[in-house]
Structure formats: C-alpha cells, structure tokens
Structure 1
Amino acid sequence: MSKKYVAGLLLCLIAALSWGGTYPVMAAALKTIDPFYLTLVRYVIVAVIFALLLLLVEGPTAFKAEGQTVRLWVFGAAGFLGFNFLVFPGQQLAGASGSIIASVMMAVQPLLAVLVTWIYRGTKPTIVSLLSMLVAALGVFMVVTKGHISVLFSSRNTLLAMGLLLLGELSWVVYTVGGTDFPKWSILRYTAHTSIRGVILIAVTVAVATGAGWLKIPSAGQIIDVRWPLLYLISFAGVVGIFAWNMGNRIVTPLNGILFMNLVPITSFVITIIGGYTVSWFELAGCAITIAALVGNNLYGRYAAKKMEQVSQLGSSSDFGV
C-alpha cells in the first residue's frame, strides 16, 4: 500500500470524524440561535475562505464560469442552501435525539446517490442496491421510533423532521454528484464557485424571511455565545471536512472512500452519549443495520466490478487467440 493511498484513507477518516461531530455541535448551538442565521454566518466565512484560496492558488481567471453558470447555481443551491436549510431545522424539530437521527440519515447518502445517478445519469441500480435501501430504511426507522411506532404519529413534528432530513441529505447527494460534471476543474474551484453562489442564495432567503417577520436578527450576544460551535462548523466541518473528503476520494476512489461514511453516525453516537444522552439498544441496532446495508451494498459493488473486469479480460484474450 503506497504512502499516497494511506494519505487518502487518512483524509477520508478526517472528513468523516469532522462531520460526525457536526450534529452534536449543531444541537448545542441551536439552543441559542436559529439554524438559518447560524448557517448564514457560517457560510459567509467559509465562502470567503474558499474564494481567497482560489484566488491565491489558481488566480483571477479561475473565477470564470466557462458556460457553467446555471449548473453552478443549481448545485450551489442544493449543497449549501438546500442541505443546511433542510437538515438542521429537521434536526431541531426531532428534539433530543435529532443529532443521532440526522447523522444516521447522512450514512444513507451513498444509497440515495444510487437513485440520483439513476435519474440523472441513467445508471440503473442493481437489485442488491434496492434491497440495501430498504434495509437501511428499516435501520433509520428503528433509530427514529426507538421501538415505539406511535412516536411517528404522536407529533406532526416527527414526520416533518424526517421529511426535512431526507430532502436535505438528498440535496447534498445532488451537490456531490454534480461535482462529477466538472472533471477538468480542481476540487477547490468547484467548491469555491458553488459556495459563493450558495451563500448568496442563503443571504437572499434569510433577508426575505426576516423582512416578512419569520426570522429575527440574532443579537451580538447570541453570536458570541455560539462562537466555539461556530468555529468548529467553519473550520473542521466546513473547510477541512469538505477538502479532506474530496481529496481523499480522488486518491482512493469513491468506492473505497464512501465506507468512511459509516463513521459519521458512530462518532455522533459517542459524542452524544458523552454529552449525557442515553442511547437505547434499539437505536444502536438500527444504526448497525443501516451501516450493514451500506457495507453490504459496497462489497457487492466491488464484487460485481471485479467480475466484469475478469470477463472483459477474458474477452480481450480470446480476441487475440490466447
């Protein structure tokens, strides 16, 4: 195993651990400030950092959209506006277990990617992938209900929270898949362009909502109170996490890197338990089932790809009379 490959694995590990801490940290911050203004403050700073890095590394010409303006706005909206304005309000609605539910939903992203690539690329999923989705859905259901189905119907907030979380994770998948439309662009360039556009849309949305009276501008004291969670969300979960994940997957390939998504709910579980939350065995079992579904689908994908490669090699050999 080369040093470069090991470095790629470490980068994926850093990203997964950073994102695993996002939801517990966010849960603490959401007690003080609403998710919309928190997202605005966070991504204004993140977008500025990415823009400065792009300027320093690739120069002013890298800010040209090169005919991709519409796509960049769409993917920026999905990755930054859609994900954050759906997932974190959903986490807040879910209550005390919101961080755990949100992190488990994040582990389902690779399976959601199967649906997105089917619709967007026309790549039909295998039966194994579809079965994995159903098993993963069962795991999420167990985490949400904790063994009591009545929880789903005891409050409208529960179902609404699940809907928001699912749509939010789907938005991030769309953003991730969209990055493959820019093979000639660096990771930094794609991230900078989409984050800039995403934060503009976030600012406009927050301004309209505030003008309509749906949101209130947070006080300086509120922002100061969440300075440490905000610092984490900007640095580790924002700049470091995104960069480490994209660079790591470029080295080890998404087929291998995607397995690190399993660490997101595990990390969230550990941090949440340390924070005083009592996790039931039913929740742990649900998390384990969801992870098993993801691993199983990944291993089958590896097996199928290897078989196709062997068939292709045999075909090539027969063509030459070997």
Structure 2
Amino acid sequence: MIPSHTKGIICCLLATVSWGAMFPIMTDALAHLDPFNFTTLRYGIAGLAFALLLFCMEGSKGFHLKGERWGLAWLFGTFGFAGFGFLVFLGQHLAGPSGALTASIMMATMPMLGLLSIWALKKKRPAASTFGFILLSFFGVLLVITHGSTADILNKPVNIIANLLLIAGALCWVLYTIGGSYFPGWSPIRYTTLTTLLGMISVLAIDIVLMLTGMISVPHSASVTAVIPHLLYMALVAGMMAVLCWNVGNMIITPTNGVLFMDIVPVTAFFISAMNGIVPSQLQIVGACITATALILNNLNQRKQAKILMIEN
C-alpha cells in the first residue's frame, strides 16, 4: 500500500514529466502537420476520452448545463484549449529547433503568471517580496530565449513574435486553471471534460476559418497518419493522464507543494532535446536554474507568510 503523500508525489512527477516530454515530441510532429490542425485533432481525441470517463463516473447528469454558467465555462475552455494549444505550439514552431526548450521554460513561469492573474481577477495583491521573485523568474526566462544576447532577439522579429506567443499561451493556461475556482460545485473531471468540449467549439471554429481563408491547408491523410503516435501521446498521456494525475497529486500534497514540480517540465524537455542532438547553451541552463530558484524561493516565502498569519490569528 503506497502512503498517501508518496502517491501525491508520484502523481505530480508523472504529470510534469509527461508535460516536459510533449515539447520535444511536438518538434517532430510540427514537421508534418501545422499547430492548428494538430491541436484540433489532439483535443478532439482527448475530449472524447474525457467525456467517456465523466459518463462512467457521474452518469448523464454530469453533462447537464441547465442553470450552470456554461458561457463562463466556454470562455475558460477557449483559453485553455484554443488559446494554449494554438499559441504555444505556433510559438514553438516559429522558434525553430530550439523552440521545445524555450516553450518548456515558459511553462515553469506559470506559477508567477498565476500570482499576477489572481491579483488582476480577484484583487489579491501579492506580497512585495513576491514581485522580486517574479522579476527574477522572468530574468531567467529572458536568458533562455535570448541566449544572453538582447540585441539578437531585437534584430529578429520572428523570435519576438514566437516568444510573445509562448507567453500568451502560458497565460491562457493560467487563466484556465484559475477558472476552476469559479465552479466550486464541479468535480475536477467535470470541469476538465465540459471545458474541453465547450472549448472545442472555439478550436473547430478557428481551424475552419483558417482553412477557408487559405491561411492553413486542409491536412493530407499522409500528414495525419505520420502524427498518429504523436497525437495519441499528446491526447491520452500529456492530456488526459497528466491532467488527472496533476489534479489528484495536488489534492494530496496541496498546490503549494505541487507547484514546485513545474521545474520538472523544462528539465525533462532539456534532457530529451539533448538526446536528440539539440543541446541547450550554458546561458540557457543558467536561465533555467534562475527561474527554478525564483519559483522555489517564492514557494518558501509563501509558506513563511502563511505561518505568520496563522500565529497572528
């Protein structure tokens, strides 16, 4: 019998290792299929799998939206699946061979982006010290995406666009995650399933418009066949399995501890990319370490503040 705390750690590790591996996998997938059609197929598969799971766990009543805030659920689903899926993988595609490394580091900034988003949405201002950690975190990101040369990124507009897309995509996932707090009566599987299905409305609409306007081409059967292994991994492992493990793990060890595992994402991506011949530069490794340090220090700082509040109360 695995102890509860150990189970929580294993679940968080499985989730973050799965997410770290998805970026190098997408490097190969994007050589065959554009980010938009890939995202549509990926979340289509994941949506069906989640729907089946919700039906088995909660029955048909889990899909009832009468009297529910379905419009808000659609908005958060659009952020999480159309926003994250399209923007992050388009940014990775534009960034070229090193895009997997850059994208994975962006994911490690999500806790910091979350603090800023909660401040904006719920008027919960972070402590003054937190802003220092936020700046330190983004300094690390800056080293990763610029390789230490700010002039280089300014002279290459494509790099600027790619990095802005990655940041916007990371922010979309943060907003989607925060969205769960607006549905306290929904189980994690219900929130995930319904937002996936509602978000697919936006995913399909955007994909169809892009194909009709000629901005992307209708995928060939050969291209789809070539990315079937990638789709299965992205939909069922990095999608369904990882999300469920993440939710279970955080319920056991709490989000305060769970968020530290986000450092595993870039570590996994760096390791797999290096095995494929794309070795991060020394400055990229330094930048990743700075971002990880900022995340850990902020986590410790939050715990200290929480203890002070408990003593005062």
Q: TM-score range by the shorter chain?
A: over 0.9
CA distance in 2, matches of 1:162, 1:129: 24
The residue aligned with 1:48 is 48
> How many residues in Structure 1 have an aligned counterpart in Structure 2?
311
Per-residue displacement from partner, 1:48-70 (whole Å, max 9, x unpaired)?
11111111110111111242111
Structure 1 or 2, whichever has the larger Rg, is: 1
In the alignment, does 2:254 pair up with 1:253? yes
After TM superposition, the structure 1 stretch with the greater mean CA deviation from structure 2, 3-12 or 261-270, is 3-12
Letter in 2 for 1:305: A
Q: How does 1:151-170 map to 2 (within 5 A)?
A: 151-170=152-171
> What SS is found at the alignment partner of 1:270?
helix
Letter in 2 for 1:278: V
> What SS is found at the alignment partner of 1:213?
coil
Letter in 2 for 1:29: A
The residue aligned with 2:284 is 283
Identity of aligned residues (%): 39
> What SS is found at the alignment partner of 1:21?
helix
The residue aligned with 1:190 is 191
Aligned-residue CA RMSD in angstroms? 1.0
The residue aligned with 1:311 is 312
Q: CA deviation at 1:145?
A: 1.2
Per-residue displacement from partner, 1:104-149 (whole Å, max 9, x unpaired)?
0100000000011101111001112111111111101111111222
Letter in 2 for 1:294: L
* Contact preservation (8 Å) 1:151, 1:158: no
CA distance in 1, matches of 2:280, 2:258: 28
The residue aligned with 2:64 is 64
Q: How does 1:84-163 map to 2 (within 5 A)?
A: 84-163=85-164
Per-residue displacement from partner, 1:22-56 (whole Å, max 9, x unpaired)?
11111110011100000011110100111111111
Q: 5+ unaligned residues in a row in structure 2: which ranges? A: none
Letter in 2 for 1:266: V
Per-residue displacement from partner, 1:92-112 (whole Å, max 9, x unpaired)?
111121111100010000000
Q: 5+ unaligned residues in a row in structure 1: which ranges? A: 313-322
Per-residue displacement from partner, 1:60-88 (whole Å, max 9, x unpaired)?
11111242111101110000011111111
CA distance in 2, matches of 1:71, 1:32: 35
Letter in 1 for 2:266: P
* Contact preservation (8 Å) 1:147, 1:282: yes
Q: CA deviation at 1:278?
A: 2.2
In the alignment, does 2:239 pair up with 1:238? yes
Normalising to structure 2: TM-score of the pair?
Answer: 0.97
Per-residue displacement from partner, 1:280-321 (whole Å, max 9, x unpaired)?
111100000010001110010011101211222xxxxxxxxx
> What SS is found at the alignment partner of 1:33?
coil
* Contact preservation (8 Å) 1:80, 1:199: yes
* Contact preservation (8 Å) 1:138, 1:286: yes
> What SS is found at the alignment partner of 1:115?
helix
In the alignment, does 2:291 pair up with 1:298? no
> What SS is found at the alignment partner of 1:94?
helix
